Amino acid sequence: MTGRRSVSARVSLTASYVGLVAVAGAILLGVVWFFLLRYVPTRAISTDTGWAPNQGDLLRAFAPAAAWAMAVLLIVGAVGGWFLAGRMLSPLSRLTEVTRRADAGNLALRVGMTRRDEFGELADSFDGMLDRIEAHVAEQQRFAANASHELRTPLAITRTLLEVGRSDPDRDTAALLERLARVNERSIELVEALLLLTRVERRAFERREVDLSLLVEEAAEVLLPLAEERGAELIVSSAPAPTSGSEPLLGQVAVNLLHNALVHGDPRRGPVSASTWRDEAEAVLVVESAGAVLDPASVETLVEPFQRGAARARREGQEGAGLGLAIVAAIVRAHDGTLHLTARPSGGLRVVVRLAGR
């Protein structure tokens, strides 16, 4: 926003101090007049002991001294107010400097104020805001980089298949079309997952009463063919767990968690289990799967977009865009719930979702 700059806060505060001094001096002079000088006679006063000053004499003697005193007070008030205002506003100068540098792109700078007053609270709040913005920007940059890579991969595969098909006179057209269809389907799934993730983060959904136990049973029924294909045992133990939220989105949570457990778990080491119950004022969903021993320090990173297991590269038989747990985390966060991932000591993963109960 451009335009003529208004008077600075320091000048305004200084003028306020000078004004207060002037008002206080005027009140003091008014008190002297009202309670003292107005009672002194204006005529010449004669007493037994001699002459006494009248009102005019006192005013002529008092007025110059009062004027000089008022001038000194105003000067002292202006000088002292200027320095006092500067000292009071110095934290704002630091805050303004950090704000301008943050606006220029330097999100690593912090105010770092140690004083424990209102300015200190403002600086701490501003530093906390910068922390969140910096983390959000870093997350968005990672997301954009990973999304670009993931979207480029199927396009590159499609181009390669077309070039091979164009240059090979003995190509199998049916097989080529089948492979192109699979690549295209993966691209569509990836785009749909990205759109769902964006919609969830905007919280653009309607809330209603939902029972997590019913959603888990539906998800298990949908994924039963996948469990049979992979030779995995799917165990569901569902007790009523009513909550409030979007039924399609919370259903997606159940589907994603069970799908992730079936795809990344090892059926030879144990079954995939899902259970729900009500814990005091919370609805709880727990999904466990057996598998390789995971590094506890890296487990929490699995909810980041495009993370698949311990690495970004897709392993044999593990299809997906790497957005399953990221979508789960976004949906749970949008429902003001908590998502906790734990590496099982015997191998595999335990995921706990807690939502406000009804």
Phi and psi torsions of 290, nearest 5°: -90, 155
Task: Specify if 218 maps to a domain.
Answer: yes
Is the separation of the CB atoms in 252 and 308 below 8 Å?
no
When comparing pLDDT for 262 and 311, which is higher? 262
Q: What is the pLDDT of residues 39-77, one digit of tens each?
A: 777 766 666 666 667 777 777 777 888 888 888 888 888
The verdict on 49 and 167 lying in the same domain is no
Average pLDDT score over residue span 210-225: 91
Task: Tell me the chain's radius of gyration from C-alpha atoms.
Answer: 38
The verdict on 303 and 269 lying in the same domain is yes
SS3 category, 311: strand
The verdict on 72 and 161 lying in the same domain is no
| pLDDT above 90: percentage of residues in the chain | 15
**pLDDT value at residue 168:** 76
Q: Which of the 8 DSSP states describes residue 320?
A: S
Task: Specify if 82 maps to a domain.
Answer: yes
Average pLDDT score over residue span 309-327: 55
CA 221/CA 35 separation, integer angstroms:
95
**Virtual torsion, Cα 116, 121, 125, 126, nearest 10 deg:** -80
CA 74/CA 82 separation, integer angstroms:
12
Query: Which of these three, 180, 201, 222, is where a domain ends?
Result: 201
Q: pLDDT category, 314, cuts 50, 70, 90?
A: very low
**pLDDT value at residue 317:** 44
Q: Which residues, listed in sequence order, are joined to residue 308 by a DSSP beta bridge?
A: 311
The verdict on 232 and 156 lying in the same domain is no
Task: Specify if 136 maps to a domain.
Answer: no
Q: pLDDT category, 22, cuts 50, 70, 90?
A: confident
The verdict on 196 and 216 lying in the same domain is no
Q: pLDDT category, 5, cuts 50, 70, 90?
A: low
Task: Specify if 116 maps to a domain.
Answer: no
CATH number, domain with residue 285 = 3.30.565.10
Task: Specify if 237 maps to a domain.
Answer: yes
Query: Which of these three, 159, 183, 201, is where a domain ends?
Result: 201
When comparing pLDDT for 258 and 317, which is higher? 258
User: DSSP letter string over 71-123?
Assistant: HHHHHHHHHHHHHHHHHHHHHHHHHHHHHHHHHTT-TT--------SHHHHHH
Q: What is the pLDDT of residues 229-276, one digit of tens each?
A: 889 999 999 899 999 988 888 988 898 899 889 988 888 888 999 999
The verdict on 294 and 341 lying in the same domain is yes
Beta strands in the chain (DSSP E): 45-47, 50-52, 208-211, 234-238, 242-245, 272-279, 282-289, 338-343, 349-356
Task: Specify if 337 maps to a domain.
Answer: yes
Q: pLDDT category, 6, cuts 50, 70, 90?
A: low
Q: How many domains is the chain partitioned into structurally? A: 3
Please state the separation of Cα 112 from the chain's center in Å: 20
Query: Which of these three, 201, 223, 252, is where a domain ends?
Result: 201
Domain that residue 341 falls in = 208-356
Query: Could you tell me the maximum CA-CA distance found in the chain, to the nearest angstrom?
Result: 142
The verdict on 286 and 163 lying in the same domain is no
Please state the separation of Cα 314 from the chain's center in Å: 31
**pLDDT value at residue 311:** 43
Task: Specify if 124 maps to a domain.
Answer: no
Minimum mean pLDDT range among 101-115, 247-261, 343-357: 101-115
The verdict on 274 and 175 lying in the same domain is no
The verdict on 250 and 315 lying in the same domain is yes
Q: Is the predicted pLDDT of residue 36 greater than 60, yes or no?
A: yes
The verdict on 196 and 222 lying in the same domain is no
SS3 category, 214: helix
Task: Specify if 316 maps to a domain.
Answer: yes
The verdict on 285 and 193 lying in the same domain is no
Average pLDDT score over residue span 277-296: 89
The verdict on 195 and 215 lying in the same domain is no
